[in-house]
Amino acid sequence: MRFSQRIGKTPLKVQVQKESMDDDLRIGLWNAFQIYYLDEVNGDWIQYSNFNYFFRIMWLSFFKLPLDNMDDSYRSTYNRIRKWFFDAEWYEVYDFIEFIASVNSPANQIGFKSFCNSMLEREFSAYRFLDNYIIEITDENELKEIEEAIEESSKSKFVGVSEHLKTALHMLSDRKTPDYRNSIKESISAVEAMCQIITGDHKAELGKALKVLEDSIDIHSALKKGFSALYGYTSDEGGIRHAMIDENSSQFEDAKYMLVSASAFINYLKVKYSKSRV
């Protein structure tokens, strides 16, 4: 909080930016692009620069313009991109920064996404970078649970768990064609993959995995029952996996809740599993 805000001379931001983008946020995201991409271009001519591939992919895949329409002068192309960025709709800006974060380039993409997240947080945006996607968030702790589950599960034999979580995240965060129903299924599959690792049984379900853990480490009966109830509904007749479920019945909040819950549960199971092997 700035001095002027503390003494009431300038207003505090209290409105989360969900379907809008004010100048402060837009400028912050542009500065991220400037620092991590544009300032790293080493030359006046794109075709001879270290970012030649990046600019060409951006031109043909994001802007979808003819390559011969792109001026080889770096300064000229820079000015065109800048004008587009500051004239674009708020959701187009998010499309853009999400796209460039996924394109191979000499840029420090981890630093770029981290800088963007600091701008998004500072300006009360409803969105954050998670992996290579921009998703809607309501709580920083939820974001950390998902990040931890994906990052930790990407190691060694837990990689299958990570892939299910990444797929669930992708389906949840696709702003054009989100697939909430299948995002939920992928979150559940991530938990099942974790259970199969714990039991060594590729057909194992949650109940069996909890029993294996319970035999070596104490799990409170109420906690075990709660876990079983949470995931049990997915396989019964009215559950998310039932073939007759209405495709439109699953909403963003359902899919996000299941992804956060699955991530937190996987983090829990991983710790318990590690302790059981000591």
- Over range 138-155, report the average pLDDT: 78
Q: Which 3-state string (H, E, C) describes the chain?
A: CCHHHHCCCCCCCCCCECCCCCHHHHHHHHHHHHHHCHHHCCCCEHHHCCCHHHHHHHHHHHCCCCHHHCCCEHHHHHHHHHHHHHHCCHHHHHHHHHHHHHCCCCCCHHHHHHHHHHHHHHCCECEEEECCEEEECCCHHHHHHHHHHHHHHCCHHHHHHHHHHHHHHHHHHCCCCCCHHHHHHHHHHHHHHHHHHHHCCCCCCHHHHHHHHHHHCCCCHHHHHHHHHHHHCCCCCCCCCCCCCCCCCCCHHHHHHHHHHHHHHHHHHHHHHHHHCC
Question: Average of pLDDT values for 154-164?
Answer: 83
- What's at 82, amino acid-wise? R
pLDDT band per the 50, 70, 90 thresholds, residue 245:
very low
Provide mean pLDDT across the span 234-247. Answer: 48
The span from the CA of 72 to the CA of 77, in Å, is 7
Q: Which residue has the higher pLDDT, 258 or 113?
A: 113
Highest mean pLDDT among 22-36, 164-178, 217-231: 22-36
Residue ranges of domains in the chain: 16-136, 140-276
pLDDT score, position 243: 42
Residue 242 has pLDDT above 80, yes or no: no
Q: Higher-confidence residue: 201 or 206?
A: 201
Residue 33 has pLDDT above 70, yes or no: yes
pLDDT for res 11: 61
Residue 233 has pLDDT above 70, yes or no: no
Read off the pLDDT band of 15 (50, 70, 90): low
Question: Which value, in Å, is the radius of gyration of the alpha carbons in the chain?
Answer: 22
On whether the CB atoms of residues 171 and 182 are closer than 8 A, the answer is yes
Mean pLDDT of the chain: 83
Specify the pLDDT at position 147.
Answer: 82
Kindly give, in sequence order, each residue whose CB lies less than 8 Å from that of residue 167, ignoring residues fewer than 6 positions away.
Answer: 183, 186
Pairing label, strands 133-136, 127-130: antiparallel
Within 13 A of 152's CA, how many CA atoms are on the CB side?
17
Residue 191: pLDDT band (50, 70, 90) is confident
Predicted local confidence at residue 94, as pLDDT: 97
Cα atoms found within 13 Å of the Cα of residue 165, Cβ hemisphere only: 33
Q: What pLDDT sits at residue 96?
A: 97
Place of tokens 């390559």: 67
Per-residue pLDDT tens over the stretch 70-106? 999 999 999 999 999 999 999 999 999 999 999 999 9
The closest alpha carbon to 265, from 207, 158, 190, 157, belongs to: 190
Write the burial class of residue 194 (CB in 10 Å: 0-12 exposed, 13-18 middle, 19+ buried): buried
This prediction has a pTM of 0.64
Q: What are the C-alpha distances in Å from 178 to residues 92, 107, 126, 168?
A: 17, 29, 17, 10
What is the pLDDT at residue 202? 80
Mean pLDDT calculated for residue range 255-269: 86
At residue 109, the pLDDT reads 94
pLDDT reported for residue 232: 63
* Angle, CA 77 vertex, CA 109 and CA 47 arms, to 5°: 75
